[in-house]
């Protein structure tokens, strides 16, 4: 009997792998053919005579409240030159990142036929890591000076916290890009309760599951592998904590700061656990609820993204890992 069960498990796993491989093969045929426009290189080399042409080609990169003289002076600023040099060293070869972006866009086009690949423009923005990716319907702007590596001196000497720095690397560019597209496609207007926030971010993370199968789970959520392992090991405890303290349906405005927003750790207010836990554990549990919902229901990705919190939660049959 055990051998039959094992055989069935192996067969189902192999079938699932073949099915996923066939799907990825179909998605690869979409071929969005991404082209990267390296604006920061053009800006670094532009002369006073050529500047009007650059401005004409990239008008959205130059705020009208500043005169041309401001931009030309900025180009020769010592800090700006250092930024150009560091970006040029880190991104002298952009092929791997370009390939990942194309894979993302292939998935977006496969699942959303109305998606039109935007112009992808790289730049620098004085290490404004909070705005490192900006996406519109026609343009995606990526600030490369926010992806120089977690231990880069720009970030260490600026006292950027370690939990933020660890995702300031080139490997995270496509994750941030997918994150911005997830926000555009998700409809989740009511976010008053902790559970609303959990399901919203669960949708966002599930979107990245679908769009970024070539990235690890840890990369998709922005954890280290050890942090993800901690969340998996303690999943049952986290869930029991939320349920026993009746936090799921609470509208307490402090809860997102404790369990949803970026932070070095989650705030259970228990000395034995807080220091070991990663931040955003509410997002992690929301992710598992949405995954359970998709496993239990015949629902398309598009349909999932507009489902309400209560619909997803009540029909997920979620049970934490023990």
Annotated domain spans of the chain: 36-185, 194-314
For the cut 50, the answer to whether the pLDDT of residue 3 exceeds it is: no
- pLDDT beyond 90 at 44: yes
Q: What pTM value is reported for the model?
A: 0.91
Q: What is the pLDDT of residue 220?
A: 98
The arithmetic mean of pLDDT across residues 167-174, rounded, is 97
Q: Quote the pLDDT of residue 29.
A: 82
Question: Which single residue is written with the structure tokens 């700061």?
Answer: 257
Of residues 212 and 3, more confidently modeled: 212
129 phi, psi to nearest 5 deg? -65, -20
Q: What is the pLDDT of residue 191?
A: 93
| Residue 3 DSSP code | H
Contact (Cβ atoms closer than 8 angstroms) between residue 313 and residue 199: yes
Burial class (CB in 10 A: 0-12, 13-18, 19+), 322: exposed
**Mean pLDDT for the chain?**
93
- Rounded CA gap, 125 and 39, in Å? 12
Residues 19-46, mean pLDDT to the nearest whole number: 88
Could you give the 3-state DSSP secondary structure of residue 142?
A: strand
pLDDT above 50: residue 166: yes
Q: Residue 149 — left, alpha, or beta (φ > 0 → left; ψ -120 to 50 → alpha)?
A: left
90 pLDDT more than 80 = yes
How many C-beta atoms lie closer than 10 Å to residue 174's C-beta?
27
Confidence band for 28, pLDDT divided at 50, 70 and 90: confident
The predicted pLDDT at position 1 comes to 46
Task: Look at residue 154 and tell me whether its pLDDT is greater than 60.
Answer: yes
3-state SS of 62-101 is CCCCCCHHHHHHHHCCHHHHHHHHHHHHHCCCCHHHHHHH
User: Taking a C-beta distance cutoff of 8 angstroms, is the pair 312, 290 a contact?
Assistant: yes
Residues 257-305 have pLDDT tens digits of 999 999 999 999 988 788 899 999 999 999 999 999 999 999 999 999 9
Which pLDDT does position 30 carry in this prediction?
Answer: 87
Check residue 18 and give its pLDDT. Answer: 64
Angle between helices 2-28 and 95-111 (to 10 degrees): 100
Better-scored residue on pLDDT, 189 or 301? 301
Residue 7 has a pLDDT of: 42
Residue 225 token pair: 């592998």
Mapped onto helix, strand or coil, the DSSP state of residue 232 is helix
- The larger pLDDT score, comparing residue 18 to residue 126, is at 126
- Percentage of the chain lying above the pLDDT 90 cut: 86
pLDDT band at 83, cuts 50/70/90? very high
Residues contacting 293, CB < 8 A, separation 6+: 299, 304, 307, 312, 313, 315, 316, 318
β-pair partners for 133: 142
* CA–CA gap between residue 179 and residue 135 (Å, rounded): 10
Q: What percent of the chain has pLDDT over 70?
A: 94
Residue 56's CB: how many other CB atoms inside 10 A?
Answer: 9
Which of 80-94, 104-118, 120-134, 266-280 shows the lowest mean pLDDT across its residues? Answer: 266-280
Distance of alpha carbon 123 from alpha carbon 121, whole angstroms = 7
H or E stretch covering 139: strand 139-143
Give the model's pLDDT for residue 118: 96
**Is pLDDT of 6 > 60?**
no
Q: Contacts for 291-296 with beta carbons within 8 Å, 24 or more apart?
A: 291/202, 291/206, 291/209, 292/316, 292/317, 292/318, 292/319, 293/318, 294/206
CB atoms within 10 A of CB 54: 18
């Amino acid at each position: 009997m055990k051998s039959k069960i094992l055989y069935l498990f192996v067969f189902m796993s192999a079938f699932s792998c073949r099915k996923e491989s066939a799907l990825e093969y179909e998605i690869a045929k979409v071929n969005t053919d991404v082209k990267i426009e390296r604006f920061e290189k053009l800006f670094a080399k532009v002369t006073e005579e050529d500047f009007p042409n650059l401005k004409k080609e990239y008008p959205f990169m130059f705020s009208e409240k500043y005169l041309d003289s401001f931009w030309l002076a900025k180009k020769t600023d010592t800090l700006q030159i250092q930024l150009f040099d560091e970006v040029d060293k880190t991104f002298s070869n952009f092929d791997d990142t370009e390939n990942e972006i194309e894979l993302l866009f292939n998935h977006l086009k496969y699942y959303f036929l109305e998606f039109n690949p935007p112009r992808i423009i790289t730049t620098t923005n004085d290490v404004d890591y909070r705005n490192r990716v900006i996406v519109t319907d026609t343009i995606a702007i990526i600030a490369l000076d926010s992806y120089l590596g977690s231990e880069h001196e720009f970030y260490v000497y600026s006292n950027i916290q370690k939990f933020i720095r660890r995702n300031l690397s080139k490997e995270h560019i496509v994750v941030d890009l997918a994150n911005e597209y997830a926000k555009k496609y998700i409809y989740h207007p009511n976010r008053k309760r902790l559970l609303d926030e959990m399901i919203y971010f669960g949708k966002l993370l599930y979107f990245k599951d679908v769009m970024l199968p070539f990235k690890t789970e840890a990369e998709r959520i922005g954890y280290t592998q050890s942090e993800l392992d901690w969340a998996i090991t303690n999943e049952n405890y986290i869930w029991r904590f939320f349920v026993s303290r009746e936090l799921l349906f609470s509208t307490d405005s402090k809860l997102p700061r404790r369990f949803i927003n970026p932070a070095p750790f989650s705030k259970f207010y228990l000395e034995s656990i807080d220091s070991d836990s990663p931040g955003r554990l509410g997002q992690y549990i929301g992710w598992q609820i949405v995954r359970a919902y998709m496993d239990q229901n015949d629902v398309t990705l598009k349909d999932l993204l507009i489902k309400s919190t209560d619909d997803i939660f009540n029909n997920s049959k979620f049970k934490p890992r023990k």
